[in-house]
Structure 1
Amino acid sequence: MSTRFTKRAGGVSQGEFASLNLALHVGDRADDVRRNREIAATDIGADLVGVQYMNQVHGNRVVIVEEPSDEEPTADALITGIPGIALAVMVADCIPLLLKSDVAVAAVHVGRRGLVNDVTRSALHVMREMGAEHITAIIGPSICSRCYEVSEEIFSEVATLHPLAASRTERNTPALDLPAALRAVLESESISFIDEFECTFESLSLFSYRRDAITGRQAGIISL
């Protein structure tokens, strides 16, 4: 089993996407992105069959991967029970959530809409249906509550469903604490977790859409 959270450094992309951008949809050169994906796959392990990416839409659709493909299924959670297949979730402020067990692993895209749409529980449900009993979560880098300012309307929508998401910026404006809300969801499902949190907005070693707008994507990658 292997897990990794990539950062900006180590790739071939230029300009706003420098340098290990893994997303094809942000305006970067496709050849550079494909080379970056090869670099990321090599870093994960030599026994890898392939890395499956997804077309993320902030929903709760879960796709079970039995064979990696260049086609990116529309989903916000990928699951596989096949050793050697790696799963990737791309982010630039949302949470890359990796779930591991003896029989299956998952890569989950958890942003504010993912929290509202309950994508984490959707992924856990499918993993349990596949026979996973002892699941551990790994929470990767995302935007912190100090930096994630939102409107009153969005604040109310999310905080009503996830009270621990309620936060304030240093200027006392409405903000969301996505990691705190996710930890509460995991605890409610009796899932132990490893926290590798780092603020994407504050760290220049990470891509941040909120900070830069035109930028690349890092990824959380996991294989059984």
Structure 2
Amino acid sequence: MHEGGGSTSDTRVHLRHRADLPSGVSVAFTASATGNLGLHVLGTSDPQEHRRRIERGIGLDPGSLLFLEQVHGTDVVLADEAPLIPMNSSAEEERALAPVADAALTKHGRPLAIMTADCLPVIVTSSNPLIYAVAHAGRQGLLHGVLPNAIESLRAAGGTDLQAWIGPSICGRCYEVPPDMAHDAEAKLPGIAVKTRWGSPGLDLPAAAEKQLRSLGVEVHRKVINECTFEQDDLFSHRRAPGQGRIAGLVWRRGHQSASSRTESMTDEGDVLT
């Protein structure tokens, strides 16, 4: 398995913690150097171009990477039923085509993306390289079951030997919440409530998600869990700097590159992946 990440220029795309699985599926996360990927984040540089650059960089046709209109819910959509983004679509048109949901599943290897800026980007793969999912697990989604819903949908689709990657998110040391919110969350997910580095009530979303996934029989890769969006300036954080942008977790099948896609991708070891 190869793991990596990298830096962005006009022809290269910055990927962190890239994992190229033996099945032919790849998993990776972006950083702020890739640019904002959220069409709803106003006043930033062109998020559509950032999305297209990622697609070129990992060898996908423009518009094939499915982004969602995320609403902090628990719905899971079938990505294979969503349309591709037509060439020359406006940002408004592209956003209107996005399914409204916080998790997506493919049964046919559709490339998927999930956006965050403190919440958890979760990617789940299976032994079948065509079947995998993504989920946006913020406080509300995590407490109300977005991850169990995604896992149940994957298994119903035939996914087995599930493996999960929890991407960069705000950590328990930094996610400060009111006492009542911490109490209510602890009642729903025991162990989620913690003390922050300031001694105030907090929630440890990554630890709670890992515990929940393991209880569902999912193997969890730990490499990225300790990256905190609030503490690291190279990651977008809504709490630290609202309105700056969104990073994304990505999952796609290698070897399905368009004839015109020969752009290179740089890893954080400095390697160039073609």
Taking structure 1 as the reference length, the TM-score comes to: 0.90
Matched, 1:86 2:111: yes
Q: Distance in 2 between matches of 1:120 and 1:95?
A: 11
Q: Alpha-carbon deviation of 1:53?
A: 0.6
SS at match of 1:88: strand
Please tell me the residue identity of whatever aligns with 2:117: A
Residues 16-38 of structure 1, C-alpha deviations (whole Å, 9 max, x = no match): xxxx1000101035x71110001
**Aligned pairs for 1:163-202 within 5 A:** 163-195=190-222, 196-197=224-225, 198-202=227-231
Residues 144-178 of structure 1, C-alpha deviations (whole Å, 9 max, x = no match): 11110000121112111112211101221100000
Q: Alpha-carbon deviation of 1:215?
A: 1.3
* TM-aligned CA distance change 1:130 to 1:148, over 3 Å: same
Q: Alpha-carbon deviation of 1:47?
A: 6.7
Matched, 1:77 2:82: no
**Aligned pairs for 1:49-88 within 5 A:** 50-66=64-80, 67-69=82-84, 70=94, 71-83=97-109, 85-88=110-113
* TM-aligned CA distance change 1:176 to 1:95, over 3 Å: same
Equivalent residues of 2:52, 2:62 under 8 A apart: no
Matched, 1:107 2:107: no
Q: Alpha-carbon deviation of 1:138?
A: 0.6
Q: Alpha-carbon deviation of 1:46?
A: 4.1
1:204 aligned to which of 212, 224, 233: 233
Alignment RMSD, CA only?
A: 1.6
Q: Distance in 2 between matches of 1:49 and 1:38?
A: 7
SS at match of 1:212: coil
Task: Report the counterpart of residue 9 of structure 1 in structure 2.
Answer: 33
**Aligned pairs for 1:12-23 within 5 A:** 20-23=35-38
Please tell me the residue identity of whatever aligns with 2:143: V
Task: Report the counterpart of residue 50 of structure 2 in structure 1.
Answer: 36
Equivalent residues of 1:2, 1:44 under 8 A apart: no
Equivalent residues of 1:51, 1:68 under 8 A apart: no
SS at match of 1:123: helix
Q: Distance in 2 between matches of 1:186 and 1:211?
A: 28
Q: Distance in 2 between matches of 1:86 and 1:49?
A: 10
SS at match of 1:208: coil
1:129 aligned to which of 152, 156, 163: 156
Q: Distance in 2 between matches of 1:52 and 1:136?
A: 20
Q: Distance in 2 between matches of 1:159 and 1:209?
A: 23
Q: Alpha-carbon deviation of 1:61?
A: 0.4
1:218 aligned to which of 220, 230, 247: 247
Q: Distance in 2 between matches of 1:96 and 1:184?
A: 15
Equivalent residues of 1:4, 1:44 under 8 A apart: no
Taking structure 2 as the reference length, the TM-score comes to: 0.74
Residues 113-151 of structure 1, C-alpha deviations (whole Å, 9 max, x = no match): 011110000011111111111110011000011110000
Equivalent residues of 1:164, 1:184 under 8 A apart: no
Q: Alpha-carbon deviation of 1:68?
A: 4.1
Please tell me the residue identity of whatever aligns with 1:77: A
Structure 2 runs not aligned, ≥5 long? 1-24, 85-93, 254-274
Q: Distance in 2 between matches of 1:39 and 1:157?
A: 42
Q: Report percent identity of matched pairs.
A: 38
Q: Alpha-carbon deviation of 1:201?
A: 0.4
Of Structure 1 and Structure 2, which has the larger fraction of its residues in helix?
1
Task: Report the counterpart of residue 26 of structure 1 in structure 2.
Answer: 41
Q: Distance in 2 between matches of 1:45 and 1:137?
A: 23
Equivalent residues of 2:174, 2:202 under 8 A apart: yes
